[in-house]
């Protein structure tokens, strides 16, 4: 602990944000990094707890507390305070190989478990790690580190999302030959086409890919593994195959009149189309354009918020966000004590921007879409209804129906499992949740030499969990190939 009284002397200071009035006119990242002197003070706030819940990943109250990667947070916060940034980055990279991702998109489970947050504001853990990795790139500390010795084993990783990148990185560091297959034209999975540019600029992915390629990892983009012939070829060519294909089967919305209506899209398809347009890859199809349209987003969470921020930048006429769950409290309830995950209202950048443009928070709670109205096949309005959960069942509140104008309906209601092509081609056993079945705490599938990690194994989750899954899966693959594990 660098400064015993640091948490008493310094208050929390977050990275600043470009005002909503300015940032809604472009798709660039809108956070402004604080001066290094501020970072030193923020590092000094870390108390070096005897039991650092921030890095524990314990399960309390049915939810995980702290970082799944078990980042050595007190160690590198102390080093930040002392000005030992290169050492701090080395300690961070020991557990988290991709802090440029988590420093931007992670909801910071670590901070919710910080003891400073019990009575005051938690330490700026996420901003601190982003400071370290960005300084590492700026100073040239982030260099390719090819393995000193080759193992002679070949591994195929299918999918280049966070779990795939994490798996490939760990296996390559061990000396295995790794080829990553990605069906899209660029690597990153949802990091590339599911998270908008203002939250994660794609140059961050390009920069990381260059390092990984210099370390000897091969990326084959635009290659779809979807048939028995494809999977047989992989099993014949590689000693092990790791599936990191995600859980991209989107949850459909069941509303009267919705089937076949033009202007109704899954959020992931919408965000992908917008990102491809922003990157100049292809023009935005007219049916995805939100300009001068009344937009309704169904579903909360990060994806729903990203849709709100995106349509604001496109110049929508209005935006309404429908959430089936009740509005969370502003403060913790007595039955939700620290260090449990705080079940409180979270207001994100999209909500703030919508409030600036339209004068109010766009969210409507305990409400969903009951009917969809069309004009010549295109959506023109919806009927909403208030809902509640009674004895585990979703019931409608009689007489609560309302009609809203809607020219674009975006469904961000989550995912219901993995897409079927790869599991069916391999004949994999699946769970009732639509994901690949593996032993408890393990990553081997029902097919020899085939492993699974990330959302494809655990279901829809956070980027930080995908990174942790990839590393743990790589350790199991390493043990299978070498007879022992050294990851």
Work out the end-to-end distance of the chain between its first and last CA atoms, rounded to an integer number of angstroms: 29
- Using one digit for the tens of pLDDT, what is the confidence trace for 283-303? 999 999 999 999 999 998 999
Q: Does residue 147 lie within any of the structural domains?
A: no
Dist CA 14 CA 19 (whole Å) = 14
Q: Whose structure tokens read 């001066």?
A: 35
Dist CA 175 CA 180 (whole Å) = 15
- Using one digit for the tens of pLDDT, what is the confidence trace for 426-480? 999 999 999 999 999 999 999 999 999 999 999 999 999 999 999 999 999 999 9
Q: Are 315 and 274 in contact (CB under 8 A)?
A: no
Q: Which CATH number do you get for residue 135?
A: 1.10.1060.10
- Using one digit for the tens of pLDDT, what is the confidence trace for 192-205? 999 999 999 999 99
344 with 376, same domain?
yes
- Using one digit for the tens of pLDDT, what is the confidence trace for 138-147? 999 999 999 9
**Residue 482 half-sphere exposure toward CB, CA atoms < 13 A:** 18
92 band by pLDDT with thresholds 50, 70 and 90? very high
Q: Which residue, among 272, 282, 265, has the nearest Cα to 246 in the 3D structure? A: 272
Q: Are 255 and 275 in contact (CB under 8 A)?
A: no
Q: Which residue, among 127, 302, 281, 105, has the nearest Cα to 204 in the 3D structure? A: 105
Q: Does residue 471 lie within any of the structural domains?
A: yes
What pairing do the DSSP bridges indicate for beta strands 318-323 and 363-365?
Answer: parallel
287 with 237, same domain?
no
Count of Cβ atoms closer than 10 Å to residue 448 Cβ:
9
Least confident segment among 57-61, 88-92, 100-104:
57-61
User: Encoding tokens for residue 131?
Assistant: 């400071």
Q: Whose structure tokens read 């959960």?
A: 389
Rounded to two decimals, the pTM is 0.96
Q: Does residue 122 lie within any of the structural domains?
A: yes
281 with 402, same domain?
yes
Dist CA 300 CA 327 (whole Å) = 11
Dist CA 252 CA 333 (whole Å) = 33
Dist CA 241 CA 225 (whole Å) = 12
- Using one digit for the tens of pLDDT, what is the confidence trace for 208-261? 999 999 999 999 999 999 999 999 999 999 999 999 999 999 999 999 999 999
320 with 181, same domain?
no
**DSSP of 50-69, one letter per residue?**
SS-GGGT-EEETTEEES-TT
271 with 406, same domain?
yes
Beta bridge partners of 394: 389
77 with 133, same domain?
yes
Q: Give the H/E segment covering residue 268.
A: helix 267-278
Q: Report DSSP state, residue 434.
A: S
284 with 407, same domain?
yes
Q: Which CATH number do you get for residue 290?
A: 3.50.50.60
400 with 440, same domain?
no
Domain's final residue, options 411, 430, 448: 411
Q: Does residue 69 lie within any of the structural domains?
A: yes
* pLDDT for residue 3: 86
Residue 81 has pLDDT above 90, yes or no: yes
Q: Which residue, among 65, 63, 442, 423, has the nearest Cα to 246 in the 3D structure? A: 423
Count of Cβ atoms closer than 10 Å to residue 65 Cβ:
20
Per-residue pLDDT averaged across 149-159, rounded? 98
Output the CA–CA distances (angstroms, integers) from residue 39 to 59, 79, 294, in the order listed. Answer: 30, 11, 42
User: Encoding tokens for residue 101?
Assistant: 């991702």
Q: Report DSSP state, residue 242.
A: E
Dist CA 202 CA 279 (whole Å) = 9
Q: Does residue 283 lie within any of the structural domains?
A: yes
Ramachandran angles phi, psi of 102, nearest 5°:
-65, -30
Dist CA 407 CA 373 (whole Å) = 10
61 with 123, same domain?
yes
User: Encoding tokens for residue 277?
Assistant: 């347009």
Per the structure, the count of domains in the chain is 3
Average per-residue pLDDT for the chain: 96
Q: Does residue 145 lie within any of the structural domains?
A: no
- Using one digit for the tens of pLDDT, what is the confidence trace for 311-359? 999 999 999 999 999 999 999 999 999 999 999 999 999 999 999 999 9
**Residue 118 half-sphere exposure toward CB, CA atoms < 13 A:** 13
* pLDDT for residue 392: 81
How many helices (H) and strands (E) are present in the chain, helices listed first? 18, 18
Dist CA 282 CA 179 (whole Å) = 28
Residue 2 has pLDDT above 80, yes or no: no
375 band by pLDDT with thresholds 50, 70 and 90? very high
168 with 232, same domain?
yes
Per-residue pLDDT averaged across 373-391, rounded? 96
- Using one digit for the tens of pLDDT, what is the confidence trace for 29-41? 999 999 999 999 9
Q: Are 306 and 76 in contact (CB under 8 A)?
A: no
User: Encoding tokens for residue 401?
Assistant: 């129906």
* pLDDT for residue 72: 96
402 with 272, same domain?
yes
3-state secondary structure 338-398: CCCCCCCCCCCHHHHHHHHHHCCCCEEECEEEEEEEEECCEEEEEEEEEEEEECCEEEECC
Domain's final residue, options 87, 114, 139: 139
238 with 275, same domain?
no
Q: Report DSSP state, residue 172.
A: H
User: Who has greater pLDDT, 392 or 446?
Assistant: 446
Q: Does residue 382 lie within any of the structural domains?
A: yes
160 band by pLDDT with thresholds 50, 70 and 90? very high
Dist CA 13 CA 127 (whole Å) = 10
Q: Does residue 254 lie within any of the structural domains?
A: no
Q: Are 458 and 465 in contact (CB under 8 A)?
A: yes
Residue 453 is part of which domain span?
154-248+416-482
1 band by pLDDT with thresholds 50, 70 and 90? low
63 band by pLDDT with thresholds 50, 70 and 90? confident
Strands (E), 226-333: 240-243, 264-266, 294-298, 318-323
Dist CA 92 CA 178 (whole Å) = 24
Domain's final residue, options 75, 109, 139: 139
Q: Whose structure tokens read 């000193």?
A: 148
């Amino acid at each position: 602990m660098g400064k015993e009284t640091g948490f008493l002397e310094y208050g929390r200071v977050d990275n600043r944000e470009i005002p909503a009035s300015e940032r809604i006119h472009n798709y660039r990242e809108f956070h402004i990094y604080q001066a290094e002197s501020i970072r030193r003070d923020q590092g000094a706030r870390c108390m070096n707890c005897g039991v650092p819940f921030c890095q524990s990943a314990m399960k309390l109250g049915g939810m995980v507390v702290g970082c799944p990667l078990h980042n050595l947070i007190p160690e590198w916060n102390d080093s930040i305070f002392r000005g030992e940034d290169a050492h701090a980055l080395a300690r961070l990279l020991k557990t988290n190989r991709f802090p440029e991702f988590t420093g931007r998109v992670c909801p910071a489970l670590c901070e919710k478990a910080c003891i400073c947050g019990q009575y005051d504001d938690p330490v700026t853990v996420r901003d601190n790690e982003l400071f370290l990795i960005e300084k590492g790139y700026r100073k040239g500390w982030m260099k390719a580190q090819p393995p000193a010795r080759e193992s002679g084993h070949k591994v195929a990783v299918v999918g280049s999302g966070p779990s795939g990148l994490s798996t490939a990185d760990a296996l390559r560091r061990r000396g295995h030959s790794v080829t990553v297959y990605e069906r899209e034209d660029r690597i990153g999975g949802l990091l590339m086409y599911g998270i908008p540019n203002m939250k994660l600029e794609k140059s961050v992915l390009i920069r990381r890919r260059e390092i990984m390629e210099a370390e000897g990892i091969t990326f084959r983009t635009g290659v779809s593994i979807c048939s028995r012939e494809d999977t047989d070829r992989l099993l014949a060519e590689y000693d092990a195959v790791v599936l990191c294909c995600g859980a991209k089967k989107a949850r459909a919305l069941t509303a009267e009149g919705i089937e076949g209506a033009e202007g109704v899209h899954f959020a992931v398809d919408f965000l992908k189309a917008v990102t491809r347009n922003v990157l100049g890859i292809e023009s935005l199809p007219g049916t995805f354009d939100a300009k001068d349209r009344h937009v309704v987003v169904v579903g909360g969470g990060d994806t729903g918020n990203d849709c709100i921020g995106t349509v604001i930048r496109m110049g929508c006429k209005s935006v309404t966000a429908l959430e089936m769950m009740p509005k969370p409290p502003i403060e913790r309830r007595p039955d939700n004590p620290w260090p449990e995950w705080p079940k409180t209202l979270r207001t994100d950048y999209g909500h703030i921007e919508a409030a600036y443009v339209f004068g109010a928070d766009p969210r409507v709670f305990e409400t969903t879409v009951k009917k969809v109205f069309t004009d010549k096949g295109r959506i023109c309005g919806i009927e909403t209804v208030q809902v509640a959960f009674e004895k585990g069942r979703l019931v409608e509140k009689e007489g609560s129906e309302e009609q809203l104008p809607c020219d674009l309906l975006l469904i961000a209601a989550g995912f219901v499992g993995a897409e079927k092509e790869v599991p069916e081609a391999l004949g994999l056993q699946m769970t009732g949740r639509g994901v690949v079945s593996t032993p408890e705490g393990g990553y081997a599938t029902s097919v020899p030499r085939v492993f699974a990690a990330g959302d494809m194994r655990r279901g829809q989750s956070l980027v930080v969990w995908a990174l942790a899954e990839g590393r743990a899966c790589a350790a199991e693959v390493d043990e299978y190939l070498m007879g022992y594990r050294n990851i």
